[in-house]
Amino acid sequence: MNPRITNHVIEEDLQTILSNDLPWQVFSGCRIVITGAGGFLGGYLLRTLLALYHSGKVSEPLQVVASVRNVELARSRLMDCIDDDQLELIHWDLSDIAIPDLGDCQYVLHAASQASPRFYGRDPVGTLMPNAIGTASLLHALQRSSDPRGLLFVSSSEVYGQISGDRTLAESDFGHLDPTTVRACYAESKRLGETLCVAWHHQFGLPTYIVRPFHTYGPNLLADDGRVFSDFTYNVIRGENIEMMSDGQARRAFCYVSDAIAGFFTVLLKGQPATAYNVANPAGELSVIELAELLIGLCPDKKLKVEKRLPPGDQSYISSTFDRLIPDVHRLLNLRWTAQVTPEQGFSRMIEAQSL
Tell me the C-alpha to C-alpha distance, in Å, between residue 27 and each of 59, 100, 105, 266: 9, 22, 11, 13
| C-alpha dist (Å) from residue 3 to 57, 139, 175, 257 | 16, 34, 47, 21
186 given a catalytic annotation: yes
| Phi/psi at 110 (5° precision) | -100, 95
The helix/strand/coil state of 167 is coil
Strands (E), the chain: 31-35, 63-68, 87-91, 107-110, 150-154, 208-213, 216-217, 242-244, 251-253, 255-256, 276-279, 285-287, 306-308, 324-325
Of 53, 107, 160, 186, which is the active-site residue? 186
Give the end-to-end CA distance of the chain in Å, rounded to a whole number: 20
- State the Cα–Cα distance between residues 231 and 160, nearest whole angstrom: 24
Helix (H, G, I), strand (E, B) or coil at 102: coil
Residues marked active site are found at: 186
